[in-house]
């Protein structure tokens, strides 16, 4: 975040996926304390996200989901048989392309492979 000149633009899909993932990890931890995040830790992550959104460090960018789905279908057709991409990874890359991004931030190897295959510069 320190290297960005402005707000980090994200889609509502990314925000939903992050929040859902944190909640799922809390549930895992409730059932097995060796997994996931403790509820206080997970809730702090959700609070920190909201603080960053409220402060303008992260900005939710409106997306034309019908257009993203068309692009995702094309990416799926062109890349999934050869590389085995998952729908969420395809949707994130399709969203970035739809929004005209030239860089793509990810820690996910599958997303990285697809993003690079379509010409996005990946930053970790």
Rounded CA-CA distance 38/43 in Å is 9
Q: Render pLDDT for 16-32 as a digit per residue (tens, 0 to 9).
A: 999 999 999 999 999 99
Q: Render pLDDT for 86-96 as a digit per residue (tens, 0 to 9).
A: 999 999 999 99
Taking the model in full, what pTM does it have? 0.87
pLDDT at position 5 over 80: no
Arithmetic mean of pLDDT, 36-46: 98
Of 116, 122, 4, 121, nearest to 56 by C-alpha is 4
pLDDT at position 50 over 70: yes
């Amino acid at each position: 975040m320190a290297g960005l000149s402005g707000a980090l633009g994200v889609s509502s899909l990314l925000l939903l996926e992050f929040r859902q993932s944190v909640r799922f990890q809390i549930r895992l931890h409730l059932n097995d304390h060796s997994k996931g995040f403790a509820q206080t830790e997970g809730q702090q992550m959700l609070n920190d996200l909201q603080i960053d959104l409220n402060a303008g460090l992260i900005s939710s960018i409106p997306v034309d989901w019908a257009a993203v789905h068309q692009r995702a279908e094309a990416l799926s057709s062109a890349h999934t048989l050869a590389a085995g991409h998952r729908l969420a990874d395809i949707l994130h890359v399709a969203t970035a392309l739809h929004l005209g991004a030239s860089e793509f931030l990810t820690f996910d190897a599958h997303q990285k492979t697809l993003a690079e295959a379509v010409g996005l510069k990946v930053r970790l």
